[in-house]
Amino acid sequence: MEGLLPCVPYRQWVLVLPKRLRWFVHRNPALAGEVSRLLASEITRFYRERTLQGRGGHPIEASTAPAQVLVVQRFGGKANLHVHFHAVVSDGVFALREGLGVTGKLQFIPAPEPSPTEIADLCERLRRSILRPKRRTQRREEVVAASSRNRDAWSGSALSPENPSGRCSHDCMEGSLLTQACAWRRTTGRP
């Protein structure tokens, strides 16, 4: 990791899927890839917005992005089927800095600390993105339709709005705050 990620602050985010969707995502690698892409794009959007707010509303270019490493984990602490996604993300965005004869040099722009409400909003956007009809594949159409009609399908999972302050039971996240779909822990320096 030392050669892969620059030396800036990072957060670890964890997306835990509802039990009804885990088997389908586990069974179909394309769905796991789709959820990974959705998570990466929503986190990128989140950090661009956070950085924009932190700079007093100055525009952040579309070319800015946080550094991210995303991994799909398919098992829980007891070697059970528990598909979830871990993302290590820089706590801000990188932008190309030009001027003074230097072109193409990356500059890190830190993002302000996210509030629990902002994290909850991000989680709701993720939930909607995952269940969005145009993103559905034929194989998961039935389970997604049942899950989106029945909000109880989300209870007991980390995406549940009724579980805003649950704890993640994974050893790697012990002591971290879990707010709906996302757990994060700030680290400094290299991950």
Q: CA 85, 88, 92, 93 torsion: positive or negative?
A: negative
- The pTM assigned to this predicted structure is 0.66
pLDDT in tens, 42-60: 999 999 888 876 555 555 5
In the structure, what pLDDT confidence band is assigned to residue 18 with cuts at 50, 70 and 90? confident
Contact status, residue 177 vs residue 11, Cβ threshold 8 Å: no
What is the 8-class DSSP label of residue 91?
Answer: S
The pLDDT of residue 41 is: 92
Tokens of 152: 């109880």
Tokens of 43: 């986190």
Rounded CA-CA distance 77/169 in Å is 8
Query: 143: burial class by Cβ within 10 Å (0-12, 13-18, 19+)?
Result: middle
pLDDT in tens, 118-165: 888 988 888 888 877 554 554 445 555 555 554 444 444 453 333 333
Extended strands (E) in 17-159: 68-75, 81-90, 92-99, 102-110
